[in-house]
Amino acid sequence: MPLYFFDTHAHIQRSRSGRCPDVANLLLRARETGVRAVLAPAVDRADWDTLAKMTPPRGLRLYVAWGLHPYFVCEITPRESTTIVEELYERVFSASSDLRAKLRAVGECGLDFARARTPDTRAHQVRVFRAQVELSRTTGLPMSIHCVKAQGPMLEVLRERPTPPSVMHAFSGSAQTACRLVEAGHYISFAANVCVENARKVVEAARAVPDDRLLLETDSPDQTPPGRRPAANEPAFIIDVARRLAELRGVDVAEIATLTRDNGRRVFGIDEPFALHEFDGEDPERSP
């Protein structure tokens, strides 16, 4: 039976060293393997226009998130981030109806204290994240959240300023943290880090998340599943994450595909149907 996926976090605009050289074929390969929707989050300001202009092949829905990744925040000064955050607000509030239909989240945003090591750089990340939390609260858009080595401060911000149900992407925390986020209304998204042997903590989290809060993603071009290395990751590899989650949760992979697709539609407020049985198999449009 064919499987149909929603990759809820894939940086299709990027390669591991810069811009993705061939997004069109990357998306056709995704469609061939059953991916029917992708949400592509921005990393920096330049990504906003790149993502807004992208058009997917027929049969594949493309949604985008606009925001400022904590890595990018580490590369700019507090003065620069103030200007860019103002621009983000202005552009989200003045978005055309076409763009609004595509723009389904604020992100990628969050905290990464492995990258920001000094009190000043951490405070800068927290300030820019809080600004994006306020954008989520005023627009009603969910956030696509990155959190590494900052679970405590992250939970504190989310407790203090509750947002619409949002997505903790490429979750790498404990089952206990996952449950606290679920209790606060959020969704937990897993990438290929669950496929890594001996990843005990994240495996426990992948078993603990309730069915109605589970999401699937590739986080491409990063986090290539172990069996596909050294290739760059891409949405077509989402099947590896789905199979592993099915194995860990003791269910059929078709069930994981269906429930993560439905959960993705719910959290990102998507009413339009996905094309399912069309476009199965080899794709004649794909160039070699």
Which residue lies nearer to Zn ion by CB, 44 or 108?
Answer: 108
Residue closer to Zn ion, measured from CB, 41 or 59? 41
Torsion angles phi and psi, residue 222, rounded to 5: -90, 175
152 neighbors 126 (Cβ within 8 angstroms): no
Query: Before 221, cis peptide (omega within 30)?
Result: yes
* Alpha-carbon distances, residue 161 vs 3, 89, 127, 135 (angstroms): 38, 18, 13, 11
Positions in the binding site for Zn ion (CB under 5 A): 108
Q: How far is the CB of 108 from Zn ion (least distance, A)?
A: 5
- Torsion over CA of 270, 276, 282 and 284, rounded to 10 degrees? -70
> Min. distance of Cβ 111 from Zn ion in angstroms?
13
Q: By C-beta, is 3 or 148 nearer to Zn ion?
A: 148
Of 177 and 189, which has the nearer Cβ to Zn ion?
189
* Smallest distance, Zn ion to C-beta of residue 43, A: 7
Q: Please identify the residue of the shown chain whose CB is closest to the bound Zn ion.
A: 108
Kindly tell me which of 240 and 279 has the beta carbon lying closer to Zn ion. Answer: 240
Dist CA 187 CA 79 (whole Å): 33
Write out the two tokens for 65: 């998130």
Nearest-approach distance from CB 169 to Zn ion, in angstroms: 6
Nearest approach in angstroms of CB 38 to Zn ion is 13
Euclidean distance between CA atoms 114 and 145, whole angstroms? 15
